[in-house]
C-alpha cells in the first residue's frame, strides 16, 4: 500500500520539479504518484511512494529537494492538525518509549519567534515521547512547517501576521536533500576552466538528471563548448563524449585541454572518453544506437551563434568545388586550413538534432536540450513540429526570463527500428517552404534576430545584426 511523504522543495525552477521526480523514479525503477492538484508554485507537496527507501533515493539524487518527511498531517489550523496527527498515531507511537527526538518549527515566507516555536512544540505534548530531547544527534526529527502567503513589498514587523498561515504541515524527517549541495560544488565561479557560455551549475545538474545519468551509461554532447554537461553527468557515473565545431572552446589556451583540467578538478577526468572537433552535420558516426543519452545546450546566437560547414553564399551553378572546400590540409608547417562556415538557423538545428538523436540513441535513450522561445509566440506545436517518427516528448519545462524563456525539452526514442543517418542537406529556402506549407512557424525561428530587436512584432524592417561571439 502506498505511503504518503511530505516533500519540501527549494524555491527555484518550479516547472522542473515534476520532470526531475519522474526521471529519477524511472532511473531507479519505482513509481511515484503525482496528484492532479500538484501546485508547482508551493514548496510543499504530499506524494505517494511504495517504500521509504524510494523517498531516500529521491532526496539523495534530486537537485530541487531540500528534505523528505513521513507525512502525518496537514491542515488550515492547529486544532485540525492535531486531530489528524492523533489519527496517525500508528505511524509514530513506536517512537514513544525510548527514542531520542527533536522538534523543529519553521515558516515559509515568515519568521517565527522562538517564544512561539516553544508554544507550538508544547502543543504536541500529547505525543508523550519518553526518550530524551537531543538537539544535536536525535534518532528522529519531527518537523512542523507553516506556509504563509508572500508578503514581500509590504512594510511590517518581521513577526506581524504570526499564526495567520495558509496551511501547516507535520511529519517525521526521512532524509535531508543531499544532492542540493552539488550546486555549490559545481559552481562555475570556482571552476578552473569556464567560458561566457558555460551553463550554470544548478541547471546542468537538472539536465544530467533528465538524461538518467548513471554508471555504465554513455552520454554525448554535440555542442560541448566548455564542458558544463561533462562534469555533472560524469559525477553521476556516466561515461562522456563531447564534440564541437570549434575546438578552441574545448581546449582553452593551456597545453592540457580545459575540459580535462576542469573534470580533473571534480575527480571525473577518467569518465571523459574523448573530445573531438567536427561539425555535427558532417559527423564521423558510421553506426547508430551508440548512446544512452544526448544532452546539450545548442548555441542560439545571444552569446554565441551556431555554425555549420559551408559557404554563406552558394557557389554559382556549374562551378566545381576545390580541395580547399572539402579538405583539411597543411598550408605551411605552422598553419592549418580552416574551412568556411555559415550560420545554422535555430529551427533547422533543433529539427536536425532530433533526427540525429533518433539515429544515435539506443532504444529508450533520451535527448535533453534547451530551446529558447519567444513568450508571446510560443505554442505546444513548436515542440511537436520538430518530432519525427519514433520520438516522443517526455518533459517540457520553462525557465522564464519575461519576454523570452528557454525550455528544457526531453525527448525519448520509443522505437527499436533502425534508421539511416540523417543527411542534414535541407537548404534554408526548403525549410522556410516546409514551414509555410505546414502553416506553422515556430516561436524559436529567427530567435537571434528577435532577441536583438527586443522581440518586436514586425521583423520585416530589421537590420543585419553581427553574429555573437562564442
Per-residue pLDDT tens over the stretch 123-166: 999 999 999 999 999 999 999 999 999 866 565 566 667 788 99
Q: Is the dihedral of CA 127, 132, 135, 138 positive or negative?
A: negative
Residues of the chain with CATH 3.30.2130.30: 3-177
Question: Could you tell me the three cell numbers for 56?
Answer: 531516500
Give the pLDDT score at 329: 46
**CATH code given to domain 183-311+338-449:** 3.40.50.150
Cβ of 373: how many Cβ atoms within 10 Å? Answer: 22
Class of residue 132 by CB neighbours under 10 A (exposed 0-12, middle 13-18, buried 19+): exposed
- Contacts of residue 260, defined as CB under 8 A and 6 or more positions apart, other chains included, come to 269, 272, 275
Using CA atoms, how far apart are residues 313 and 119, in angstroms rounded to an integer? 76
Position 301 scores a pLDDT of 62
Render 240-287 in DSSP notation, one character per residue. Answer: EEEEES-HHHHH-SSSS-HHHHHHHHTT-GGGEEEEEE--GGG----S
List, for the chain, all residue ranges whose pLDDT scores fall below the cut of 50.
328-330, 459-470
- For residue 275, give the nearest of 221, 214, 207 by alpha carbon: 221
Q: Quick one: pLDDT at residue 463? A: 44
Per-residue pLDDT tens for 409-422?
A: 999 999 999 999 99
The total of other beta-carbon atoms located within 10 Å of residue 203's CB is 22
Distance (Å, whole) CA 55 – CA 383: 32
Q: Which pLDDT does position 346 carry in this prediction?
A: 85
User: Which grid coordinates are listed for 19?
Assistant: 520532470
Within 10 A of 352 (CB to CB), how many other CB atoms are there? Answer: 21
For residue 196, how many other CB atoms are within 10 A of its CB?
Answer: 11
Of the CA atoms within 13 Å of residue 287, those in its CB half-sphere come to 3
User: What are the φ and ψ backbone dihedral angles of 240, each rounded to 5 degrees?
Assistant: -130, 140
pTM across the whole model: 0.87
pLDDT value of position 469:
35
* CATH of 3-177 given 3.30.390.50, 3.40.1160.10, 3.30.2130.30, 3.40.140.10: 3.30.2130.30
- Residue 378: CB atoms within 10 A of its CB come to 18
Delimiting residues of CATH 3.40.50.150 domain(s) in the chain: 183-311+338-449
Per the document, the length of the chain is 470
Amino acid at each position: 500500500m502506498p505511503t504518503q511523504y511530505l516533500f519540501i522543495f527549494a524555491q527555484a525552477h518550479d516547472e522542473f520539479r515534476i520532470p526531475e521526480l519522474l526521471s529519477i523514479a524511472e532511473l531507479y525503477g519505482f513509481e511515484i504518484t503525482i496528484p492532479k492538484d500538484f501546485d508547482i508554485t508551493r514548496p510543499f507537496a504530499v506524494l505517494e511512494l511504495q517504500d521509504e527507501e524510494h523517498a531516500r533515493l529521491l532526496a539523495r539524487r534530486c537537485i530541487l529537494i531540500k528534505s523528505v518527511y513521513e507525512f502525518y498531517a496537514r491542515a488550515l489550523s492547529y486544532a485540525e492538525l492535531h486531530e489528524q496527527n492523533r489519527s496517525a498515531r500508528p505511524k509514530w507511537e513506536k517512537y514513544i518509549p525510548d527514542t531520542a527526538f527533536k522538534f523543529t518549527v519553521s515558516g515559509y515566507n515568515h519568521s517565527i519567534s522562538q517564544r512561539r516555536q516553544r508554544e507550538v512544540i508544547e502543543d504536541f505534548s500529547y505525543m508523550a515521547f519518553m526518550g530524551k530531547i537531543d538537539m544535536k544527534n536525535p534518532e528522529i526529527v519531527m518537523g512542523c512547517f507553516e506556509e504563509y502567503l508572500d508578503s514581500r513589498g509590504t512594510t511590517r514587523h518581521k513577526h506581524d501576521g504570526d499564526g495567520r498561515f495558509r496551511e501547516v504541515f507535520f511529519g517525521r524527517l526521512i532524509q535531508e536533500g543531499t544532492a542540493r549541495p552539488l550546486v555549490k560544488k559545481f559552481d562555475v565561479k570556482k571552476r578552473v576552466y569556464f567560458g561566457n557560455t558555460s551553463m550554470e551549475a544548478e541547471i546542468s545538474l537538472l539536465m544530467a538528471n533528465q538524461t538518467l545519468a548513471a554508471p555504465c551509461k554513455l552520454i554525448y554532447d554535440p555542442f560541448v563548448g566548455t564542458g558544463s554537461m561533462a562534469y555533472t553527468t560524469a559525477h553521476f557515473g556516466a561515461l562522456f563524449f563531447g564534440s564541437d565545431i570549434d575546438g578552441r572552446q574545448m581546449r582553452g589556451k593551456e597545453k592540457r585541454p580545459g575540459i580535462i583540467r576542469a573534470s580533473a578538478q571534480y575527480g571525473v577526468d577518467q569518465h571523459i572518453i574523448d573530445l573531438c572537433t567536427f561539425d555535427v552535420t558532417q559527423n564521423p558516426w558510421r553506426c547508430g544506437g551508440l548512446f544512452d543519452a544526448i544532452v546539450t545546450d545548442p548555441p542560439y546566437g545571444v552569446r554565441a551563434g551556431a555554425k555549420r560547414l559551408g559557404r554563406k553564399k552558394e557557389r554559382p551553378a556549374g562551378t566545381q568545388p576545390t580541395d580547399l572546400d572539402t579538405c583539411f590540409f597543411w598550408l605551411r608547417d605552422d598553419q592549418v586550413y580552416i574551412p568556411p562556415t555559415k550560420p545554422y538557423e535555430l529551427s533547422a538545428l533543433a529539427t536536425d538534432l532530433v533526427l540525429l538523436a533518433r539515429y544515435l540513441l539506443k532504444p529508450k535513450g533520451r535527448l535533453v536540450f534547451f530551446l529558447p522561445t519567444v513568450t508571446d509566440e510560443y505554442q505546444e506545436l513548436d515542440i511537436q513540429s520538430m518530432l519525427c517518427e519514433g520520438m516522443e516528448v517526455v518533459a517540457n519545462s520553462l525557465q522564464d526570463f519575461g519576454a523570452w524563456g528557454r525550455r528544457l525539452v526531453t525527448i525519448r526514442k520509443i522505437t527499436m527500428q533502425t534508421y539511416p543517418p540523417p543527411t542534414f542537406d535541407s537548404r534554408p529556402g526548403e525549410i522556410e517552404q516546409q514551414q509555410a506549407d505546414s502553416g506553422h512557424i515556430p516561436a524559436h525561428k529567427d530567435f537571434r534576430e528577435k532577441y536583438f530587436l527586443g522581440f518586436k512584432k514586425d521583423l520585416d524592417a530589421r537590420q543585419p545584426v553581427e553574429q555573437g561571439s562564442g
